Structure 1
Amino acid sequence: MPPPKDVVKIAIQMVGAIPQLIELHQTKPLTSVLKDVCDAWSLPNAERYALQYTDGRQTYITESNRREIKNGSILRLTTSPDQEAERLYSGIQSNNSDVKTDSLKKLASLSQDVTFAQEFINRNGLKQIFYIVEEGNATGEMLAHTLKAFMELMEHDFVSWETLSAAFIRKIVSYVNMNAVDASVQQLSLSILENMVPTSRLLFELVKKEVTLDRLLTHLQVTNAQLQLKAMALLIALLLAATDTERRDMMDYLREKNIRQFIHKNIIHSSEPLGDEMAHYLYVLQSVSLNLCERRMRSSMDPYSQEQRELLHSLRQTAFESESEVPASNFSTERRRSLCAKEFRKLGFTNNSNPAEDFRRAPPGLLALDNMVYFARHTPSAYGRFVLENSSREDKHECPFARSSIQLTLILCEILHIGEPCSETAQAFYPMFFGQDHFFEELFCICIQLVNKTWKEMRATQEDFDKVLQVVREQITRTLSLKPTSLELFKIRVNTLNYSEILKLRQTERLHQEETLAVPVLELRERLKPELLELIRQQRLLHLCEGTLFRKISSRRRQDKLWYCRLSPNHKVLHYGDVEEGVHSAPIESLLEKIPVADMKMLLVGKECPHTKEKSSGKQNKDVLELAFSLVYDVEEYCLNFVAPTRYEFCLWTDGLNVLLGKEMTSERMQTDLDVLLSMELKLRLLDLENISIPVTPPPIPKPPSNLNFCYDFSHAEQ
């Protein structure tokens, strides 16, 4: 007879004793359970003991988390959190350096547990840690353990970062600014400052003042990848916490110091593989840099601005200054205006009498004017060729330079997400961004010439303007998806992807999506669906069996903590547990936490998840919402909370869990996979029917014959 739901069978270990196998009644108070366990080993003072997991997490069992204990769990009897906190509080004050170092090391490990952390902080333990740091006598391993313990204690949000003393902060800053300091100490110091910066304006200003950009750039040039990563993390934290003006000044300074060239050479193209966190920071740096264009993008042209009018007229002068031998100043005012209007019309302005009106729409606003002036000044031959070539065409076939430039600038802003806030988890950056100064302007120069080229290929007229720009958008996005490493490579690829290639790709994709609408093919498609859906289900379960590495994400920062989850080969148990940084796969034996599939109740996604509801009071992150899902299990409806590393993993895991729950797969990836498999299977089934048209309706059934005399009569044959 199976044990009741509120009873779990577990093992309890203690050093030097034979393990106890007990039935833990979840309704029985923990104090009584501990009393029984201590009595079995003849241990007095049961209140001085506690139960703890043996999986390396060192998590204490409390009344609030005891329901997480599952059948087969192995616990150990250890000193209670209050006793351990008291012992370590005394140990870190010891005059014996070995005792002090060991106590700090144990403190750094145990502080991950919220119960112990609360006990230690209640004893004013943080004050003692402050004293060790401020005193300045601790170095090397001892100091590293002290800073690690401080980080873990602060992670529980019991104490505000704003309560830190100025002396403590100055000491942390000194570790960052000193040269002869242990690398692990500098890494932890950088992490402490990174967490400090977003909490208040005062702390941001203090860190920005004390840790210069030059110092961070020095850390970025070391060979230690972890130190390089932490320096980049602090730099990004400073950029995100800065005001628009401060951010612009910081980015200008970094540009002067050639940070782009260094990143391109020593990070993107280094021999070390680029980790997820560094990829995220490069994405943020790219996003922050591109967003510096937002102010111009959202600013309309001021017709009374002398500077803006001069920029506008410089376009006309560059294009037509050599066309007339007589200076325009010799003409009458009316004739000069007429000449200017004619030249602005040739440049492709919609309002040639007052071209400033063309820049009233924001976005793209003045950013479009900036791009046009950059193109005219830095590639005058290409600019002159563009204008001259279209001036000589028939009116209806000329490609309007100004109108095209304004629309192209808007398209580039949308593709590059200029003006949008940075994602907290995205990693998609363009390697070529860090390989080129004035990236946005140079990209525009390539793409505006692409507009003219595509216009000619399409033999477009003014009525086809939107169609041409739609094709150009597709050319740009398809080429960017290939992640070219340089603008030169982008230029080659985007020009290779001409209009005829776009048509071929569209046709191929349309055939893949639609196949054919013939009724027999649609019927065959429906017959194939169940078999292919089962194939997708098996693939999803196989992916769950292989397992995935998940990252824990807090509301303040991206954490280094990782955990792994995988399904057992017999599809009956879900195993999970914490893993160390650098581990890419974990065997089932090392994952001590289990959830029987039979106990699984439902799957929650997005805003329905408890771990996204907890963050709803702060800044909501759309990427976390899109990648979050929770598995509800057991009669008490506990939740195992996930944040998938990618959208692909999110789709595979939610599909797989729905299969285990006996529900339909609902992800967009499932539909994509099904369409691909159906397309391939249909082509194989219809391979012999190539070039044979399939009728939309089946042929009519002929009328029955007037008699059946043509049938063979077996009775007569026997006679």
Structure 2
Amino acid sequence: MAPQRNVVKIAVQMRDAIPQLIQLDQAKPLASVLKEVCVAWNLVYPERYALQFADGHRRYVTENNRSEIKNGSILCLSTAPVMPLLTPPSFPAPLLCLLSARLPLAPASLPLLLLHPCQDLEAEGLLNRLQTGNHEGHREALRLLVLLVSDITFAQEVISRDGLQRLGTIIEDGDDLGEVLALALRAFLELMEHGMVSWETIGIPFVRKVVYYVNMNLMDASVQPLALRLLESVTLSSPALGQMVKSEVPLDRLLVHLQVMNQQLQTKAMALLTALLQGASLAERKHMLDYLWQRNLRQFIYKNIIHSAAPLGDEMAHHLYVLQALTLGLLEPRMRIALDPYSQDCYCSRGLGPLLSCLSPFPQNSNPAQDLERVPPGLLALDNMLYFSRHSPSAYSRFVLENSSREDKHECPFAQSSIQLTVLLCELLHIGEPCSETAQDFSPMFFGQDQSFHELFCVSIQLLNKTWKEMRATQEDFDKVMQVVREQLARTLALKPSSLELFRTKVNALTYGEVLRLRQTERLHQEGTLAAPILELREKLKPELMGLIRQQRLLRLCEGTVFRKISSRRRQDKLWFCCLSPNHKVLLYGDVEEVAGPPIPESLPEQLPVADIRALLTGKDCPHVREKGSGKQNKDLYELAFSLSYDRGEEEASLNFIAPSKREFHLWTDGLSALLGSPMGSEQTRLDLEQLLTMETKLQLLDLENVPIPEQPPPVPPPPTNFNFCYDCSIAEP
């Protein structure tokens, strides 16, 4: 019989007992399941027990999360976090009178006393031990409490019994600055992170005590990371308490924590630092970052955290991303401020007049400053141009001089390029956008030097000029060039280069041709063309398609082409016609008139048997090209010239051609190669083959649309142990 869908096979264990293997029916109430488990172990009062997952979190099983129980799960039986309301049973009156005479209790209390088990409930028992036990009892109770408070059901009971206040008392008293304090801080944090109590309710004396632990020089290594974590949560959740933390915890103290070799302490110190920066105003944030950079925090992060021998954790990567985003966010005010184009004092006082005058062409040539009214990038684009001209004067001069010597239509506009490039960099670096709560994509090179954004602009503007030349762009192609530059920058930033020089090397290696190749490869990957089965199919289709191309080339030779003769004076006024006979055995050729159409092949006076042809020569190997010399005027002949060397009696002769176009050159050389039994290796053949392969592959895969194609074929099953089997056709199938 097939197993029921709602039944799972699990194990239930309890201390000092043999585990039970049961079949749990998910449709049955948990109370009934718990009762059956208790009966198997001869336990009374099943209401006092609960099931927990046996993983490290020890979460209680409830009706809401019982769907997480799967086949093979292990559960534990423990005391329940909540005391159930018991109904006193009926006792005979004589028994109650007898007990009340011997015990100083009211008769109504006796049934409850008889029903209570000797052990306390888990939550109440642990909290009582925290309040009344000795030092060792506190430690053991806190260890168990830390394991259990991650469960929200247990945490609710602890909080409802003033567990936070009891933990706060232990933290504020500070009688033990070692393991007990660390366990109390951890339990307190776990309870608060459930979100049932607001951080606003935390008292100022408590926060000051935690600040005291952070500022202490000699402190247990397990305490300070937890104290820093608690202050981070306070800072992010309560602006008022965050201001107090900012005033009580000096930046120098955080720098001390960042410079220790304890990676956990470094991470929590960086977390508190980014929390303080996020809670500060823009002016305060700039002042704090300037002070931190003066204390060489950037250099320390770059050398001792990013390039540390220990791997960088995900949490530290996130905090470095936040620090990078907050640092770049200081540029946002400049990005949001537009230049007043009619105020001469606004830029002439800073020496911008000569720069603006030499930045032509601007889109607004009458007043170049009007182009900087756009927000974004606002004044940030002008800051970039100024930085480039002052800190990279040779590169700036080369940019201006190169473009001034070009034709007007091929000139790369510096000002327009700078404005668009600044907008592009702001978009790629997410300047002006809020920080993500989970992102980790910081760039190490931003911690490698000061003024990282302006330095990145200097590299990018030179890249734009280089790409402009590679694309042979005109001003009408400006948007296309910017799209390529965006892709170059985005791809290189995604590699996370460790330094600006490495970024410069990688982005300059990503040429326009390489971008086109990557685009083609990605497109093929998206279409599934590069999958192993597809490649195998393409290889099988190639011979047939190459036969089609060969047939097309020979048909083109049979149609014939009119060629021009080139005399010693380079006159091209004479024409001649050549074609292949229908039986592919003879080349027919002869002179023709320009006004006449293609002649009838039988009327051509000259013939060249294909069997007499020795070789096909192209380019500089052709005799009629060698006779012309190697001057620049003959360069155009090299690409269109081809010759057929053949035997004429005992002498070697040649039939020389100058193709009218590059396409005709490819068609004729391919056709003649096919006649001579040589491979067709022209660029046109490669393009035609690729087009035919793509079309044929898509046609054959139409039936497999939206069906994933595996990388490897399914394995062939092994043969049977014997072949002694047959099919009896006389037996009718049911």
Indicate whether the TM-score tops 0.5: yes
Provide the residue aligned with 1:503 in structure 2.
Answer: 513
Query: Is the contact between residue 225 and residue 264 of structure 2 (CA under 8 Å) also seen in structure 1?
Result: yes
SS at match of 1:184: coil
Provide the residue aligned with 1:573 in structure 2.
Answer: none
Provide the residue aligned with 2:208 in structure 1.
Answer: 170
Query: Is the contact between residue 50 and residue 61 of structure 2 (CA under 8 Å) also seen in structure 1?
Result: yes
Provide the residue aligned with 2:416 in structure 1.
Answer: 403
Query: Is the contact between residue 467 and residue 512 of structure 2 (CA under 8 Å) also seen in structure 1?
Result: no
- The Cα of 1:392 is off from its aligned counterpart by 4.3
Provide the residue aligned with 2:254 in structure 1.
Answer: 216
- Shift of the 87–443 alpha-carbon distance from structure 1 to 2, 3 Å rule, reads same
Distance 1:73 1:460 in 2: 66
Provide the residue aligned with 2:381 in structure 1.
Answer: 368
1:484 maps to a residue whose letter is P
- Shift of the 64–471 alpha-carbon distance from structure 1 to 2, 3 Å rule, reads closer
Distance 1:130 1:399 in 2: 67
- The Cα of 1:442 is off from its aligned counterpart by 1.0
SS at match of 1:266: helix
Distance 1:179 1:436 in 2: 32
Task: Determine whether 1:387 maps to 2:400.
Answer: yes
* Higher relative contact order structure (alpha carbons within 8 Å, sequence separation ≥ 6): 1
For residues 243-269 of structure 1, what are the alpha-carbon distances to aligned partners after superposition, in whole Å with 9 as ceiling and x for unaligned? Answer: 333333332332222221111100111
Task: Determine whether 1:354 maps to 2:367.
Answer: yes
- The Cα of 1:2 is off from its aligned counterpart by 5.1
Matches within 5 A, 1:88-167: 88-167=126-205
Distance 1:390 1:68 in 2: 67
Question: Which of 288, 292, 298 is equivalent to 2:330?
Answer: 292
Query: Is the contact between residue 50 and residue 79 of structure 1 (CA under 8 Å) also seen in structure 2?
Result: yes
Range with greater deviation from structure 2 (222-231 or 90-99): 90-99
Distance 1:145 1:225 in 2: 20
Which TM-score applies when normalising by structure 2? 0.65
Provide the residue aligned with 2:41 in structure 1.
Answer: 41
Distance 2:160 2:176 in 1: 24
Distance 2:359 2:77 in 1: 86
Distance 2:291 2:310 in 1: 27
SS at match of 2:330: helix
- Shift of the 290–141 alpha-carbon distance from structure 1 to 2, 3 Å rule, reads same
Distance 2:446 2:328 in 1: 10
For residues 3-33 of structure 1, what are the alpha-carbon distances to aligned partners after superposition, in whole Å with 9 as ceiling and x for unaligned? Answer: 6555544433332333344454555554454
Question: Which of 456, 474, 481 is equivalent to 1:468?
Answer: 481
For residues 138-164 of structure 1, what are the alpha-carbon distances to aligned partners after superposition, in whole Å with 9 as ceiling and x for unaligned? Answer: 220111111111111112222111111
1:59 maps to a residue whose letter is R
SS at match of 1:52: strand
Provide the residue aligned with 1:560 in structure 2.
Answer: none
- Shift of the 28–298 alpha-carbon distance from structure 1 to 2, 3 Å rule, reads same
SS at match of 1:108: helix
- Percent identical pairs in the alignment equals 59
Distance 2:482 2:236 in 1: 41
Matches within 5 A, 1:575-590: none
Task: Determine whether 1:59 maps to 2:72.
Answer: no
Provide the residue aligned with 1:14 in structure 2.
Answer: 14
Query: Is the contact between residue 258 and residue 266 of structure 2 (CA under 8 Å) also seen in structure 1?
Result: yes
Distance 2:211 2:79 in 1: 36
Query: Is the contact between residue 283 and residue 428 of structure 1 (CA under 8 Å) also seen in structure 2?
Result: yes
2:371 maps to a residue whose letter is D
- Shift of the 383–224 alpha-carbon distance from structure 1 to 2, 3 Å rule, reads same
Distance 2:387 2:293 in 1: 19
Distance 2:471 2:54 in 1: 69
- The Cα of 1:233 is off from its aligned counterpart by 1.5
Task: Determine whether 1:268 maps to 2:302.
Answer: no
For residues 296-347 of structure 1, what are the alpha-carbon distances to aligned partners after superposition, in whole Å with 9 as ceiling and x for unaligned? Answer: 11221123556532267x2443x6xxxxxxxxxxxxxxxxxxxxxxx82664
Question: Which of 416, 421, 428 is equivalent to 2:429?
Answer: 416
Provide the residue aligned with 1:239 in structure 2.
Answer: 277
- The Cα of 1:463 is off from its aligned counterpart by 3.0
Query: Is the contact between residue 299 and residue 447 of structure 2 (CA under 8 Å) also seen in structure 1?
Result: yes
- The root-mean-square deviation of aligned C-alpha atoms, in Å, is 2.9
Query: Is the contact between residue 512 and residue 679 of structure 1 (CA under 8 Å) also seen in structure 2?
Result: no
SS at match of 2:222: helix
Provide the residue aligned with 1:604 in structure 2.
Answer: none
- Shift of the 382–96 alpha-carbon distance from structure 1 to 2, 3 Å rule, reads same
For residues 173-196 of structure 1, what are the alpha-carbon distances to aligned partners after superposition, in whole Å with 9 as ceiling and x for unaligned? Answer: 111111111111111111111222
Distance 2:468 2:199 in 1: 58
Query: Is the contact between residue 471 and residue 512 of structure 2 (CA under 8 Å) also seen in structure 1?
Result: no
Range with greater deviation from structure 2 (262-271 or 210-219): 210-219
For residues 250-297 of structure 1, what are the alpha-carbon distances to aligned partners after superposition, in whole Å with 9 as ceiling and x for unaligned? Answer: 323322222211111001111111122222222222122112212211
SS at match of 1:302: coil
Provide the residue aligned with 2:499 in structure 1.
Answer: 486
Query: Is the contact between residue 233 and residue 281 of structure 1 (CA under 8 Å) also seen in structure 2?
Result: yes
Provide the residue aligned with 1:615 in structure 2.
Answer: none
- Shift of the 442–65 alpha-carbon distance from structure 1 to 2, 3 Å rule, reads closer
Uncovered stretches (5+) of structure 2, i.e. residues with no partner: 83-120, 547-679, 697-734
Matches within 5 A, 1:540-559: none
Provide the residue aligned with 1:663 in structure 2.
Answer: none
SS at match of 1:81: coil
Query: Is the contact between residue 339 and residue 373 of structure 2 (CA under 8 Å) also seen in structure 1?
Result: yes
Distance 2:43 2:416 in 1: 86
Query: Is the contact between residue 529 and residue 535 of structure 2 (CA under 8 Å) also seen in structure 1?
Result: no
Distance 1:191 1:126 in 2: 17
Distance 1:441 1:219 in 2: 31
SS at match of 1:92: helix
Question: Which of 440, 458, 466 is equivalent to 1:445?
Answer: 458
For residues 635-655 of structure 1, what are the alpha-carbon distances to aligned partners after superposition, in whole Å with 9 as ceiling and x for unaligned? Answer: xxxxxxxxxxxxxxxxxxxxx
Query: Is the contact between residue 190 and residue 234 of structure 1 (CA under 8 Å) also seen in structure 2?
Result: yes
Distance 2:165 2:421 in 1: 59
SS at match of 1:352: coil
- Shift of the 436–383 alpha-carbon distance from structure 1 to 2, 3 Å rule, reads same
Provide the residue aligned with 1:425 in structure 2.
Answer: 438
Provide the residue aligned with 1:538 in structure 2.
Answer: none
- Shift of the 225–672 alpha-carbon distance from structure 1 to 2, 3 Å rule, reads farther
Distance 1:5 1:507 in 2: 52
Distance 2:515 2:239 in 1: 52
For residues 372-428 of structure 1, what are the alpha-carbon distances to aligned partners after superposition, in whole Å with 9 as ceiling and x for unaligned? Answer: 111122223333343344344443343322222112212222222222222222222
Query: Is the contact between residue 13 and residue 74 of structure 1 (CA under 8 Å) also seen in structure 2?
Result: yes
- The Cα of 1:87 is off from its aligned counterpart by 1.0
Question: Which of 171, 175, 199 is equivalent to 2:237?
Answer: 199
Query: Is the contact between residue 161 and residue 199 of structure 1 (CA under 8 Å) also seen in structure 2?
Result: yes
For residues 464-499 of structure 1, what are the alpha-carbon distances to aligned partners after superposition, in whole Å with 9 as ceiling and x for unaligned? Answer: 3333333333332333333322112222333343xx
- Shift of the 94–316 alpha-carbon distance from structure 1 to 2, 3 Å rule, reads same
- Shift of the 95–86 alpha-carbon distance from structure 1 to 2, 3 Å rule, reads closer
- Shift of the 482–95 alpha-carbon distance from structure 1 to 2, 3 Å rule, reads closer
- The Cα of 1:678 is off from its aligned counterpart by 6.3
- Shift of the 29–238 alpha-carbon distance from structure 1 to 2, 3 Å rule, reads same
Distance 1:282 1:677 in 2: 41
Distance 1:469 1:67 in 2: 53
- Shift of the 10–488 alpha-carbon distance from structure 1 to 2, 3 Å rule, reads closer
- Shift of the 137–453 alpha-carbon distance from structure 1 to 2, 3 Å rule, reads same
2:486 maps to a residue whose letter is R
